[in-house]
Amino acid sequence: MKFVCSKESILTEIIYAMSFTSQKNALSITSNVCLQAKGSTLMIKATDLRVGFSTEIPVEVHEEGRILVSCTKLLEILRTLPEVDVEFFSNNGTFSIKPLGQGIDFKLRAIGADEFPALERGDDLSYFSIEQKAFTEMIDQTHFAAAEDDSRQFLNGVFLERTKSGMTMVATDGRRLGIVERSFSDDIPEFSPIILPTKFLTELRRLASGEGSLMLSITDKILFATVANRVFYTTLIKGDYPNYRRVIPESQRYHATMKISDMLDALKRVSLLVENKARRIYLDISEAGTLLTSDENESGEAKEIIACQYEGPETRISLNYTYLLTPLKVMDGEYFTLNFTEPTRALTVVPEGDRDYLHLIMPMQQTP
């Protein structure tokens, strides 16, 4: 195999591919990227067997072929090269990388491409179009609430279902929940509810431009997404997602409204003296304001009061501060409202205005 292309064109795609390789075991086949030169294009493929990526870029092909090389090493080399055209060729188990007109020559160990797992293909499937910005905003409001390494695999993913006017996306780990119920003008076909791996959505969010449309195709086992000439796919998580609507309160008695920026700044300061394991803070809410307090420990104690609009009895709420900090970081508007009925029951965090999302937090048990 032998081809020539600009450093920039291949580097961009190898950065994308890197996110879809398996890097836990450097000796694994799936830690490699598959390069195939054919006609006037280079196809680049990567997979960790759960998620996959493929794309094509125009190159000057001198000899067709297909090989596997370490994605990590190839990316490290490409990043150090000057901004010139680069010649790539394979010979006797090595893959050479030579910037034209430079005294630079790298050789990587190459592997026969026959060992590379076959990627799922969505060529013959029907796709529907959806606005990129709207879909990525849904990911922003939910993905962080999914569980990590939970034995219940379905909680490690993000739930997506078709509704009459669009789609609903939900994530929960049993202690917090994020939900977006978004309407779309796009024609979205009916599909059965699915559970998507969080890794796929965060990578799709990171790699999408946020402009134009995203093409999706949903099958019984796989979701395909295409952006321009790039194809992403993921296997779906099996399981029955919990009835999330049961935990969202229909109404709540008390409402404390605060500035998002005030709460974010206060959380960042008070959390400096919060023990990392419990991450507990107290919110003392009264008509005079909201007092944030850390647990007193060997390092000391932190307190800060911020203004709030509130009518009701003085109430102390104990919670994991990250459960409030994370949704506020992605919340729109200037103000948010913390809604509750009792300090030990579910709280809802709602942005100002007519938004289509909310966040739910389960308080911690208060220490005596």
Q: What's the pLDDT tens digit per position in 18-49?
A: 999 987 765 588 999 999 999 999 999 999 98
Residues 312-364 pLDDT 10s:
999 999 999 999 999 999 999 999 999 999 999 999 999 999 999 999 999 99
Q: What is the DSSP letter of 163?
A: -
CA distance 175 to 126: 37
State what percent of residues in the chain have pLDDT above 70.
98
The predicted structure's pLDDT at residue 49: 87
Mean pLDDT value of segment 77-94 = 95
Q: How far apart are CA 300 and CA 174, in angstroms?
A: 31
- Rounded mean pLDDT of 102-126? 86
Per cent of the chain over pLDDT 90 is 76
219 by Cβ neighbours in 10 Å (0-12 / 13-18 / 19+) ranks as middle
Kindly indicate the confidence band of residue 113, based on its pLDDT and cuts at 50, 70 and 90.
Answer: confident
CB-based burial label for 221 (10 Å; 0-12, 13-18, 19+): exposed
Q: pLDDT, tens digit, for every residue of 211-236?
A: 888 999 999 899 999 888 889 999 99
Q: Any idea what the Cα angle at residue 36 is, between residues 121 and 34, rounded to 5°?
A: 70
Cα–Cα–Cα angle for 286, 141, 211, rounded to 5 degrees: 135
Give the C-alpha separation, 327 to 322, whole Å: 9
pLDDT at residue 114 in the model: 85
State CA 177 to chain mean position distance: 15
Class of domain 249-361: alpha beta
| Amino acid occupying residue 224 | F
* 188 phi, psi to nearest 5 deg: -100, 120
Cα–Cα distance for residue pair 225/53, rounded to 1 Å: 10
The tens digit of pLDDT for each residue in 248-291 reads: 999 999 999 999 999 999 999 999 999 878 899 999 999 999 99
150 pLDDT higher than 70? no
Asked which of 59-63, 162-166, 313-317 is least confident by mean pLDDT, the reply is 162-166
In the chain, how long is the greatest CA-to-CA distance?
Answer: 78
Once rounded to an integer, what is the mean pLDDT over residues 300-308? 95
Q: Do residues 3 and 37 make contact, with C-beta atoms less than 8 angstroms apart?
A: yes
Residue 53's beta-bridge partner residues? 46, 232
pLDDT for residue 26: 56
Query: Which residue in 209, 32, 229, 33 sits closest to 135, CA to CA?
Result: 209
Domain boundaries defined on the chain: 2-115, 128-244, 249-361
H or E stretch at 77: helix 71-80
151 — pLDDT class (breaks 50, 70, 90) = confident
Neighbouring C-beta atoms of residue 266, cutoff 10 Å: 23
Compute the distance between CA of residue 116 and CA of residue 51 in angstroms, rounded to an integer.
14
Model-wide pTM > 0.75:
yes
2-115 has which CATH code? 3.10.150.10
Locate tokens 């409030």: which residue? 324
Which of 364, 366, 350 lies closest to 141 in space, CA to CA?
350
* Mean pLDDT of the residues in the chain: 92
CATH number for the segment(s) 128-244: 3.10.150.10
Supply the pLDDT for residue 368: 53
pLDDT at 116: 86
How confident is residue 198, by pLDDT bands cut at 50, 70 and 90? very high
pLDDT at 12: 93
Q: What is the DSSP string of 281-347?
A: EEEEEETTEEEEEEPPBTTB--EEEE--B--S--EEEEEEHHHHHHHHHT--SSEEEEEESSTTS-E
